[in-house]
Amino acid sequence: MSGFVGIHNLDDAPVDPELLGRMTANVDVAGTGQLGIRLAGSVGLGNAPLRVSPEWAGPCTLDGDVWIVADARVDGRAELLAGMAARGELVAPSATDAELILHAYRAWGESCVEHLLGDFSFVIWDERNRRLFGARDHFGVRPFFYARVGATLVLSNSLDCVRLHPSVSDRLNDQAIGDFLLFESNQDPATTAFEDIQRLPAAHTLTWSSGRLGIRRYWTLPIDEEIRYGQPEEYVERFRELLRTAVSDRVRNFDRVVVSMSGGLDSSSIAATAQHVLSERSRPFELRAHTVVYDSLIPDRERYYSGLVAEALGIPIEYLVADGYQPYDGWDSPEAWTPEPADNPLPALGANISRGRAVGGDVVLSGQGPDALFRFPMQRHLISQCSQRRFGRVITDAGHWLRSHRDLPKLAVRQRLRRLVGKHPLSSTYPPWLNRAFEARLNLRDRWSSMENERFPSVHPVRPDAYRLVTSPHWSFFFESESANVTRVPIESNHPFFDLRIVRYVLAVPPIPWCLNKRLLRSSMNGILPDAVRLRPKTPFAGDPIRERLDQGHRPIVGKLVSAPRLDHYVDLKAYREQAFDASSAWWVFRPLNFNRWLLKLSQKQATATHETPSRVRA
């Protein structure tokens, strides 16, 4: 991973080298000092690596005319090389990821993204055609932000970096703030919390050419025909092969690997697969697990189950005990800053999780994805089969369901999936503390009702819920929150279950029996993971630490609220302080507090920026 920035002065004014250097230094998360700068009149590109590497050379070019800065990992390299060779573009297998993208651009032009596989965001400056071209990967794993302000176009994979440009104001995007207060995150994948700064959505490209800015979707997850094999073991072996490939690609350049591993099936499967992949190498490696546990605050058994996995795999495991963290501990530390409002009243815990993973690790692998990917609406399926008078299929499928039913996800897990796509907030009650003028101006009550009652079309004929959940833009928000440009911790975060090859395969296999109770994943881990973990039923969280804290006497936090500048523009402080709260509305207690503390830190940063750059545009 690396940080990048691009500046294009659309009026052909030369880019300020001091400004470009300062912005490039901002994305040097690891403090390597390896800042790559490319100045070419009205265009400036900057690049900084996440770790020191003798191969890294900053902005990259093949011919001196077309340049790239990128945060990219290109997978499926053999297939890509063959495709380019068929077009006469011969590429050495040792080419870097950035060089591969440039070769692909030379072979296919802007259509190159349709041939790329992996996680990437990048900016290309094509001097010959006076074209700036950028793209973001299929699921939005790598961030991409941009701002067109006046005669300037600013681009980066860091939102904070874009904000450093003096032409970019700190005016807030009220619609995004309203969404945060209602739904805990922005519902528009193309905007940010700042009015001037846009987010390039997943699977989109950006082009500036001939005086026009164009945004285009280049890919939509296809609806494939069902995959049919003759023998059950063929389904399992193919899935195991794809999972190994996905993990192998994500640790290709790393020898120190950390797995964010709970005691559940998903992350444990990633740990087992990583252990297998790394053991096949001829060079030494370090693999360890990092687990967050609660020993007393809530009834949590993750320590026990994750310990079983670590012992079976023979890997060290480190536990971060979260019981002692109090709301807003360390909220004013630099590590607690997030570029956009975050619904996290335990910032010190989040910062220590990131730091703990990074100790002795270059990349962290997560187990995120299977809860969405294997989602299957059994009841809807049976009703559909009955309506088509396929009664034999109904009996067979119902038998599979009954055999798996005791292990199906409980209600709380289903609610978590709904929350993921912003459909059902944690509280079913409309918040009573919104500023009435703000609420009326943005029609927030209507927005709340429309989101609550929204019915999503069944795009996928067999797996509509899984398709919708996997393609939700809210995954890209989550991936951004894990990126080094947000945590400011120099470790790359990767998510193997969001490998495009895995997603397409799981959506194409017969859902019965393979998606019931994640049977495909469980079967692939047979003989690899301890059965106590492999066959462990999916259960809801043992408890909510935030609600527990509220029950333990943190209600006085509300009375001690110190209002940040402009908080009353969004929140009716009198109504907020007078509201009766209980554990069921815990997140309604903390969300205005989370937003307030973000505003306080934002005002501090604004004051610093004003002192350092007096010309900066202000709200």
Query: pLDDT for 307-359, tens place per residue?
Result: 999 999 999 999 999 999 988 888 888 888 999 999 988 999 999 999 999 99
Give me the mean pLDDT over the 387-392 stretch.
55
Q: What are the E-state strand segments in 32-186?
A: 36-40, 43-49, 60-61, 66-75, 117-126, 131-136, 145-149, 152-156
Structure-token pair, residue 494: 């990767």
User: Looking at residue 619, what is its pLDDT?
Assistant: 32
CATH code of the domain covering residue 105:
3.60.20.10
Cα of 234 vs its chain's centroid, Å: 32
CA dihedral (429, 434, 440, 445) in degrees, to 10, reads: -10
Distances from the Cα of 67 to the Cα of 196, 285, 553, angstroms: 26, 34, 57
Domain range for 601 is 546-612
Q: Do 189 and 267 have their domain in common?
A: no
More confident residue, 386 or 373: 373
Domain boundary among 217, 252, 269: 217
Which residue, chain included where needed, has tokens 């799981």? 506
Q: Do 276 and 370 have their domain in common?
A: yes
Query: Is the pLDDT score of 548 beyond 80?
Result: no
User: Looking at residue 579, what is its pLDDT?
Assistant: 76
Q: Do 358 and 496 have their domain in common?
A: yes
Burial (CB count <10 Å: 0-12, 13-18, 19+), residue 227 = middle
With cut-offs at 50, 70 and 90, classify the pLDDT of residue 420: very low
Q: Do 197 and 243 have their domain in common?
A: no
Give me the mean pLDDT over the 44-72 stretch.
88
With cut-offs at 50, 70 and 90, classify the pLDDT of residue 421: very low
Q: Nearest 5 degrees, angle CA 74-CA 47-CA 62? A: 60
Pair 317, 291: CB distance under 8 Å: yes
Q: Do 185 and 63 have their domain in common?
A: yes
Quick one: angle between helices 265-279 and 302-313, nearest 10? 20
Collapsing DSSP to helix, strand or coil, 313 comes out as: helix
pTM score above 0.85: yes
Q: Is residue 617 part of a domain?
A: no
Q: Do 276 and 386 have their domain in common?
A: yes
Percentage above 90 pLDDT, the chain = 70
Helices (H), 213-301: 232-250, 265-279
Quick one: angle between helices 391-404 and 378-387, nearest 10? 170
Q: Is residue 423 part of a domain?
A: yes
Q: Is residue 243 part of a domain?
A: yes
Q: Do 181 and 243 have their domain in common?
A: no
Instruction: Report the C-alpha gap between 494 and 315 in whole angstroms.
Output: 19
Q: Do 185 and 70 have their domain in common?
A: yes
- What is the tally of structural domains in the chain? 3
Q: Given the DSSP bridges, would you call strands 36-40 and 363-365 parallel, antiparallel or unpaired?
A: unpaired
Q: Given the DSSP bridges, would you call strands 363-365 and 492-494 parallel, antiparallel or unpaired?
A: parallel
Pair 154, 136: CB distance under 8 Å: no
Give me the mean pLDDT over the 489-504 stretch.
97
User: Looking at residue 300, what is its pLDDT?
Assistant: 86
Query: Is the pLDDT score of 417 beyond 70?
Result: no
User: Looking at residue 224, what is its pLDDT?
Assistant: 76
Which stretch of 66-70, 168-172, 404-408, 512-516 has the lowest confidence by average pLDDT? 404-408
Burial (CB count <10 Å: 0-12, 13-18, 19+), residue 93 = exposed
Instruction: Report the C-alpha gap between 120 and 116 in whole angstroms.
Output: 9
Report pLDDT digits (tens) over 369-379. Answer: 999 999 987 66
Report pLDDT digits (tens) over 504-524. Answer: 999 999 999 999 999 999 999
Pair 359, 491: CB distance under 8 Å: no
Report pLDDT digits (tens) over 582-598. Answer: 666 667 778 999 999 99
Domain boundary among 193, 217, 241: 217
Average pLDDT, rounded, for the chain: 87
